[in-house]
Amino acid sequence: MKLPSGISMVLPRKFAGFIPLFIGVELVLAVAILNKAGGAYGILSLLTGHPIDFWQWLWNMSCIVSLPVYISALSNLMTRFKNVRKMSLVCLVYTFDTVFGLVYTLYFSWFWFHHEAGSSDQSSGSHRRGMAVPPGDYKDEVSSSSTQSQSASPAHELFLTVSATVVVTVVRAYFNLVVVSFTRQLLKQYGHDEVVADDEQTLFQNKGVVARVRRTVFEIEVRSRDILLDLFS
């Protein structure tokens, strides 16, 4: 299977129009890592007892799984041999993640507007959620009509939320194109080079669980490279 030749028309050659692509990829991966760290904090609900549904649990798990992929690629971005196959895996994972994330954004938007936003309007969060708030913290203040204009109107809040969600989604799609473009150029130049780095010569000799995991990851990365070489050829 091959990608249509027109795809190269939409792939950026510079990040944001003037920054070298590799700096853009550094930023994209760093942002991805920051975002995926949310999964690790979310899964702590298992310890704190905060209720989450199956879809939230699945989302958190997907974040935790993709986190090491991005960390590994960022830390090896400048490392010869490794960066080609690691970026190949990132390219596939990030693209899948973009689509998966878009679906989840839609689901979570529905979740917010149907559950959270409406229910929180009426009662104090500390009472509703049984939060441990010190007695001195709670105040029964309600804004007076003279100061209510200082608070954003519901329409303003809605505009902020929707526009920010759209901007984040568009930026994420652009980031995806940056990753694809960089990986494509990397594969063009070094796609058929050696895949094993100098410090990985012992990868296939060592035994044990860690070595097996590393070999499996290595094989997935090489397979990703082969898939992308086929797609970009």
Partner 1 sequence: MSLLRSKIVQKPYQLFHYYFLSEQAPDSSLANLSFETDISITINKFKNHRWKRNEIAHYGFLSSVILFVFFIFPASFLIKLPILSVFGLCFLVPLTSQFFLHALPVFSWLALFFTCGKIPEEWKPAISVKFLPAMETILYGDNLSNVLATITTPTLDILAWLPYGLVHFVFPFVVAALIFVFGPPTALNSFGFAFGYLNLVGVLIQICLPAAAPWYKNLYGLQPANYSMSGSPGGLGRIDDILGFDMYTTAFSNSPMIFGAFPSLHSACAIMDVLFLSWLFPSLTVAWWGYGCWLWWSTMYLTHHYFFDLTSGALLSISVFTYTKYVHLPVMDRTKFCRWSYTEIPKVNINQMNPLTFNFNNDYVYNDLENQQPDILLSNPYQQSSSSSSGQPQSSLGIELENYSRSRQSSKVFLPQASGLPTIEDEETSSFDNSATTSVFDEVEQLSTIHFNTSLEDYDKRKPKKH
Residues 62-101 binding partner 1 (CB under 8 A) are: 77-80, 83
What does 12-74 look like in DSSP terms, one character per residue? Answer: -SSBTTTB-HHHHHHHHHHHHHHHHHHHHHHHTHHHH-----HHHHHHHHHHHHHHHHHHHHH
The partner residues of 32 in beta bridges, in order of sequence, read: none
Of the candidates 191, 25, 168, the one whose C-alpha atom is nearest the C-alpha of residue 94 is 25
Name the burial class of residue 178, with classes exposed (0-12), middle (13-18) and buried (19+) by CB atoms within 10 angstroms of its CB: buried
Restricting to residues 204-223, name those near partner 1 by CB under 8 A. Answer: none
Distance, first Cα to last Cα, the chain:
9
Nearest to 173 by CA among 97, 73, 67: 97
Of the pair 7, 19, the CB lying nearest partner 1 is at 19
| Cβ distance to partner 1 smaller for residue 162 or 213 | 162
Q: Between 8 and 123, whose beta carbon lies closer to partner 1? A: 123
Alpha-carbon Rg of the chain, whole angstroms? 23
| Interaction pattern, residues 24-43, with partner 1; x per rule: CB under 8 A | --xx--xx--xx-xx--xx-
121 sits near partner 1 (criterion: CB under 8 A): yes
Answer yes or no whether residue 102 interacts with partner 1 by CB under 8 A: no
Output the CA torsion 157→158→162→167 (10° steps): -30
- At closest approach, how far in Å is the CB of 217 from partner 1? 19
Q: Which of residues 164-193 bind partner 1 (CB under 8 A)?
A: 164-165, 168, 182, 185-186, 189
The rounded distance, in Å, linking the Cα atoms of 70 and 196 is: 19
> Of the candidates 109, 206, 216, 233, which one interacts with partner 1 according to CB under 8 A?
109
The reply on whether position 149 binds partner 1 by CB under 8 A is: yes
CB of 1 to partner 1, least distance (A): 25
Q: Does 1 bind partner 1 (CB under 8 A)?
A: no
Q: Is 156 in the site for partner 1 (CB under 8 A)?
A: yes
Decide if residue 56 touches partner 1 (CB under 8 A).
Answer: yes
CB nearer to partner 1: give 8 or 212.
8
